[in-house]
Structure 1
Amino acid sequence: MGEYLLLPLAFLTSALAGAIGMGGGVLLLTLMPGLVPAPAILPLHALTQLASNLSRAAFGWRHIDWRLEPAVAAGGTLGAAVGGGIYRSLSLDWLPAVIGVLILLLTWLPLPQPRGRGQGALALLGFYQTGLGMVAGATGPLGAAVLARYSVQRDWLVVNTAVYMSISHLLRGAAFGLMGFSLGPWLGLLAGMIGASVLGSWVGTRLRAYLPQANFQRWFRLLVSLLALRMIALVLWPG
């Protein structure tokens, strides 16, 4: 029954993402090892985050910029295929440690961003967003700098980040299904996590206007880093 601790965690992390536009997915991912087996972490995370991001986009649908999505989807389809091949080559026993290391790298190292603001940059964003997500799980902050070239208005950024992440998580979920992951044993937990995520998105959307952004990034990085180290420790020193 310990896995059902993921329901309140899904609510809280989705509310966080609804309020500030990012961070909920990576935070949830760092909390999943030890609550569900390693082979289930990334598929369950992808589908839960699909619900979280899709609901966040729906609650702010007036801000959706539909011109951005076709290129992201095209690049993401190729990224899912390439990332899926890498995922199949990994030892699932080591998967939480691999994810933990990647989260630390994504959190602290400057990452290359596609140049420009055309369709090519969006397609490249979809490719590496989805491809890296097949292995690292939570890569939402990667696209923030790209979307900021189009608008810096907070609601626009939050909602359109949710849209392109919905595309990425949908493609990842489909890829895991094609690779043989069976949802049957997890339907009850997944339904609960999806419901909690949608409710969290609704709460976070309404809190967004009231929450200060000052110093958030610093404290969030520290928290995520500690949880990523926990993921690595669970593999190196089980029990």
Structure 2
Amino acid sequence: MPSLVVLSLLAVSALVTSFISGILGMAGGMILMGILLAMLPLPQAMMLHGITQLSANGWRAWLWRHEVDWRVFRGYVYGALGSTAFFILVQLVVTKPVALVILGFTPFVALALPEKWHLNVERKFHSAACGVICTVLSLTAGVSGPILDVFFVRSKMSRHKVVATKAMTQSFSHLQKILYFGAITVGEGAHIHWGVAAMMIALAMAGTSLSRSVLEKMDDKSFRQWTRWTVMTVGVVYLVSGVVLLLKN
């Protein structure tokens, strides 16, 4: 069982990051991933992150279930399954510094994508492409929110539909991550403490429920502005952290 200090950090992290994700539809997972990588080996961090985020996203998807775009979700699933099959074949697991660098670079790559690409999850085949790319990032860096946002930012969806549909796609990705890294963790003879996982699940659902009233009070313009600035700030922190770890090795 982790120490009281570690348990407290995990508890606060689960509550606060799920609250942030409940408002912005992303960013909370990025923050939580960095915290877990600082405290746990990568496979266990990935698995605990997946369990916590599946709870937060799954609960958020349920709360906004009437707003989900199921056509977009189906396309995402097809692409995600293709990427996962590739990872299962090669059994790829990156190092912790590399995971942090990828995590940090992701928002900047998303921002640098040329306008002419016109990525839009509502367009034909774009949702499947989104599933492919986001799954690769999810299984290497642990999160894919910033790239996922690129596919949604030009859509005609309301903030409610964006949050709901993202929650469904992310729930599926986190389920895949749990199964993938769960198999690796068992193979290495490691494990996670299920009491800790249960605590984080409960707090993730609580943070998601608390965020609902805040999302209702925001307008679509503020929603998109806060999303961009939050992920860019977090990206800088992780990029610097990953580079420092790479230079030390």
- When normalised by structure 1's length, the TM-score is 0.85
Secondary structure, aligned partner of 2:169? helix
User: 1:77-132 deviations in whole A, cap 9, x for unaligned?
Assistant: 11123234566354xxxx22111111222121224768564452211111111122
Deviation string, structure 1 residues 58-92 (Cα, Å, up to 9, x no partner): 111111122222221121111123234566354xx
Tell me, yes or no, if the aligned pair for 1:96 and 1:232 is still in contact at 8 Å: no
Segment drifting more, 110-119 vs 164-173: 110-119
Aligned equivalent of 1:79: 83
Q: SS at 2:75's partner residue? A: helix
- Which shifted more, 6-15 or 176-185? 176-185
Structure 2: gaps of 5 or more residues: none
Q: Secondary structure at the match of 2:37?
A: coil
Q: Are 2:221 and 1:221 equivalent residues in the alignment?
A: no
| Bigger shift: residues 179-188 or 23-32 | 179-188
Q: Percent identity?
A: 24
Q: Which moved more, 1:224-233 or 1:156-165?
A: 224-233
SS of 2:125's equivalent in the other structure is helix
Structure 1 residues 175-228: Cα deviation after superposition (integer angstroms, max 9, x where no partner): 223335478542111111111111111111221133554853335422442244
**Structure 2 residue corresponding to 1:3, chosen from 1, 6, 29:** 6
Of the three residues 207, 211, 230, the one matched with 1:200 is 207
Aligned length: 234
Q: Deviations over 1:7-43 (max 9, x none)?
A: 1111101100101211111111111223222331112
In structure 2, C-alpha distance between the alignment counterparts of 1:70 and 1:164, rounded to whole Å: 9
The residue type equivalent to 1:140 in the other structure is G
1:62–1:15 CA distance, 2 compared to 1 (3 A):
same
Indicate which of 17, 21, 24 corresponds to 2:25: 21
Q: Hey, what does 1:209 align to over in structure 2?
A: 216
CA distance change for structure 1 residues 28 and 85 in 2, over 3 Å: closer, same or farther? farther
